[in-house]
Amino acid sequence: MEWLNIIESRHTTFAWDEDRIPDRSIIDEVLNEVYQHVPSKNLQFPYQVRLLRNDDVNIRKEIMTICHRNQDLEAEVDGGNPQVLAPWLLGFNARYCADTEKRYEKNSYRGTFDGHGLGNQRTNDPHGDQTQSENLEIGIFVAYIMLALANRGIQSGMCQNICNNYQRATEIFKLAEDNRALDFRFIMGIGYGKDTGVRHDYFDPRVGKTKPIPFAPDDVLDHYPRPLYTDIIKG
């Protein structure tokens, strides 16, 4: 697919085609493709990406409940974040790599950072230097993977509302089983999307009823107007 076609075909997806589930082998192929080509400072990869088949009814409901869309509204009327009802989910967490900081710079202050995995959090980075690097690199990986997926006709939907209960997200994605896994950051849904020009309905497991998705992807600018180009691009 040509570059312009790829970026134009990508959209944040709320409505998933339940009759078509991407094969695990395709997602593995995409993950390996991105892993082999994505830039990372000194190839340290200060993050991990965890793939979850989102087919457990109870877990789907729990994740949807955690990812409540609007805290001003009760679940009964809240639009929800149905991007997390995708058939596959990617969870992103920070990864301990301070030990590799001293490979060539023996006195690197980053080499002193703690948080040795198993879902722990760092305690001695008061200015968030390493956290900034982790979030930046996670963002780069996310951009690569959502475009690599779009190149195969597979859509994605990002959601940061997992922040409503990072601890439970950590448990669902089994961070405590990995001795380099640090705190949880982000979640992404993966699957085949429906027509972007239609405000489809979805089944909200929080309340056991059908609701319309927050908005049709083609109508996003009606809900979240884009800032002026000149407010963003300078020089």
Is residue 200 very low, low, confident or very high in pLDDT (cuts 50, 70, 90)? very high
Sort 106 into a burial class: Cβ within 10 Å, 0-12 / 13-18 / 19+: exposed
Question: Could you give the number of structural domains in the chain?
Answer: 1
3-state secondary structure of 68: coil
CATH code of the domain in which 14 resides: 3.40.109.10
User: What pLDDT does 37 receive?
Assistant: 98
Q: If you average pLDDT over residues 183-208, what whole number do you get?
A: 96
- Report pLDDT digits (tens) over 70-89: 999 999 999 999 999 999 99
66 vs 129, more confident: 66
- Report pLDDT digits (tens) over 15-55: 999 999 999 999 999 999 999 999 999 999 999 999 999 99
Is residue 117 very low, low, confident or very high in pLDDT (cuts 50, 70, 90)? confident
Q: Six-digit token pair at 88?
A: 């596959």
Sort 135 into a burial class: Cβ within 10 Å, 0-12 / 13-18 / 19+: middle
3-state secondary structure of 87: coil
User: What pLDDT does 121 receive?
Assistant: 80
- For the chain, the residue count is 235
The angle, 0 to 180 degrees and rounded to 10, between the axes of the packed helices 24-37 and 129-150 is: 130
Whether the CB-CB separation of 169 and 184 falls below 8 Å is answered with yes
Sort 59 into a burial class: Cβ within 10 Å, 0-12 / 13-18 / 19+: middle
User: What pLDDT does 88 receive?
Assistant: 98
Q: Which residue segment(s) compose the domain that 93 sits in? A: 3-232
Q: If you average pLDDT over residues 90-116, what whole number do you get?
A: 87
User: What pLDDT does 195 receive?
Assistant: 95
Range scoring the smallest mean pLDDT among 21-25, 95-99, 103-107, 162-166: 103-107
Whether the CB-CB separation of 140 and 18 falls below 8 Å is answered with no
Q: If you average pLDDT over residues 90-103, what whole number do you get?
A: 91
Q: If you average pLDDT over residues 96-105, what whole number do you get?
A: 86
User: How many whole angstroms separate alpha carbon 161 and alpha carbon 187?
Assistant: 8
User: What pLDDT does 19 receive?
Assistant: 94
Q: If you average pLDDT over residues 106-119, what whole number do you get?
A: 82
Whether the CB-CB separation of 78 and 69 falls below 8 Å is answered with yes
Q: Which residues pair with 49 in a beta bridge?
A: 92
Q: If you average pLDDT over residues 56-69, what whole number do you get?
A: 96
User: What pLDDT does 116 receive?
Assistant: 77
**Closest by Cα among 38, 1, 58, 16 to 190:** 16
User: What pLDDT does 103 receive?
Assistant: 87
Residues of the chain with pLDDT > 70, as a percent, come to 100
119 vs 216, more confident: 216
User: What pLDDT does 98 receive?
Assistant: 87
- Asked whether the predicted pLDDT for residue 119 surpasses 80, the reply is no
- Report pLDDT digits (tens) over 145-172: 999 999 999 999 999 999 899 999 999 9
